[in-house]
């Protein structure tokens, strides 16, 4: 049984491994919690003196274990943040040099994909509009301009670990780099009305040569 869908972007593995790091630390902590709940339950009939039982939990001496546990958890938390920040800065905060630029606009209930025309620039008269199919080159940094016409949408490409909301009135640029050719789903992840679950498109990742061919075909039409 595989947990995640196959990863096809160059940064996806960072997100997956963050999950496994947090899960293993949390798993260890879970075992401790289970022990702290079940051990008292199992030993509940043991003879204990009142002096042993009457503990108020005041002062550093009695609370030291709790402070220690909070401290250990703080260390774990901050290591998560440090591990995460590397990926977050790379994926979300920075934009590497673009090799292809495309725009995806959400609309009830389809994806409008805008390719630059022959001039290679977006938002000019010769732009080409397609619906529900995003064709991108393999092994190239693709910038995607996200926005929406009507309500909020969210472009989600599970296999690439890519997700960002599309808002009317804003142009948000995010990037992705596919490392494997193939056809992958792209879905809407933000409730957008009755057609929400039908707002399904596909991402076609082509090797450079084939991609250029496909682009040329689009220009001819």
Partner 1 sequence: MSMAHVKKGFWHRFFFSLDHKDIGLQYLITTMFIAFFAGIFAMVFRIHLAYPDVSIPLFGTIGPKEYNILVTNHGLIMVLWLSMGVLLASAGNFLIPVMLGTDDMAFPKLNKLSYWFFLSSVLVLIASFFMPQKGFGGGWTLYPPLSVGDFGYNTAYKSFAGRFFSSNTFVLLAVALEFVSLLMGGINFMVTLFNKRAKGMGLLQVPMVVWMIVIASVLFMFSVGPLVAGTFMLLLDINAGTGFYDASRGGDPLLWEHLFWFFGHPEVYVILLPGLGILAEVITTNARKTLFGYNLILVLVLIAMVLSLMVWAHHQFVAGIDPRAATVFSILTIIISLPFAGVILSFLATLWKSNLRLTLPMKWALAAIVLFTILGGFTGLHLGAALFDVYAHDTSFVVAHFHYTLIPVVLFSGMAGFYHWFNKFSGRELNRFLGNLHFWLTFIFFNGFGIPLFLLGLAGQPRRYAGYDHIPYLSEGHLPLLREIATISAIILVLSQFIFVFNFIWSAFKGKKISSTNPWESTTLEWQTDSPPPHGNFEVYPVVYHGPYEYNRPDTEKDYLPQNQKL
Options 111, 135, 144, 154; binder of partner 1; rule CB under 8 A: 154
Which residue, 105, 169, 171, 104, is CA-closest to 142? 104
Q: Categorise residue 161: left if φ over 0, alpha if ψ from -120 to 50, beta otherwise.
A: left
Q: Closest distance between partner 1 and the C-beta of residue 112, in Å?
A: 17
Residues 31-50 that bind partner 1 (CB under 8 A): 33-34, 36-37, 39-41, 44-46, 48, 50
Number of residues in contact with partner 1, rule: CB under 8 A?
85
Residues 95-134 within binding reach of partner 1 (CB under 8 A): 108
Rounded (10°) angle between helices 12-42 and 59-88: 160
Among 122, 128, 141, 151, binds partner 1 (CB under 8 A): 151
How far apart are the C-alpha atoms of 110 and 186, rounded to whole Å?
11
Alpha helices in the chain (DSSP H): 12-42, 50-53, 59-88, 208-220
If the CB atoms of residues 69 and 218 are measured against partner 1, the closer one turns out to be: 69
Residues facing residue 9 across a β-bridge: 178
Q: State yes or no: residue 172 binds partner 1 (CB under 8 A).
A: yes
CA 199, CA 187: separation in Å to the nearest integer? Answer: 6
* Minimum distance from residue 22 beta carbon to partner 1 (Å): 5
- Least Å distance between CB 120 and partner 1? 27
Min dist. Cβ of residue 187 to partner 1 (A): 5
Among 85, 132, 133, 213, which residue interacts with partner 1 (rule: CB under 8 A)?
A: 85
- Per CB under 8 A, does 57 bind partner 1? yes
What's the min distance (Å) between Cβ of 18 and partner 1? 5
């Amino acid at each position: 049984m595989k947990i995640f869908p196959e990863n096809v972007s160059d940064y996806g593995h960072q997100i997956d491994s963050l999950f496994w790091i947090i899960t293993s630390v949390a798993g260890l902590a879970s075992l401790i919690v289970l022990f702290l709940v079940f051990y008292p339950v199992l030993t509940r009939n043991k003879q204990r003196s009142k002096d042993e039982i009457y503990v108020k939990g005041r002062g550093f001496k009695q609370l030291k274990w709790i402070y220690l546990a909070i401290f250990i958890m703080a260390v774990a938390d901050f290591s998560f943040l440090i591990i995460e920040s590397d990926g977050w800065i790379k994926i979300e905060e920075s934009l590497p040099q673009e090799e292809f630029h495309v725009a995806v606009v959400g609309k009830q209930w389809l994806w409008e994909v805008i390719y630059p025309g022959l001039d290679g620039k977006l938002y000019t008269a010769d732009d080409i509009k397609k619906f529900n199919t995003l064709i991108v080159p393999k092994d190239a940094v693709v910038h995607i301009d996200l926005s929406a016409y009507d309500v909020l949408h969210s472009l989600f490409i599970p296999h690439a670990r890519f997700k960002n909301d599309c808002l009317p009135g804003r142009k948000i640029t995010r990037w992705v780099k596919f490392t494997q050719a193939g056809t992958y789903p792209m879905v809407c992840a933000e409730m957008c009305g009755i057609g929400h679950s039908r707002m399904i498109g596909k991402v076609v990742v082509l090797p450079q040569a084939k991609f250029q061919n496909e682009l040329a075909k689009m220009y001819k039409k």
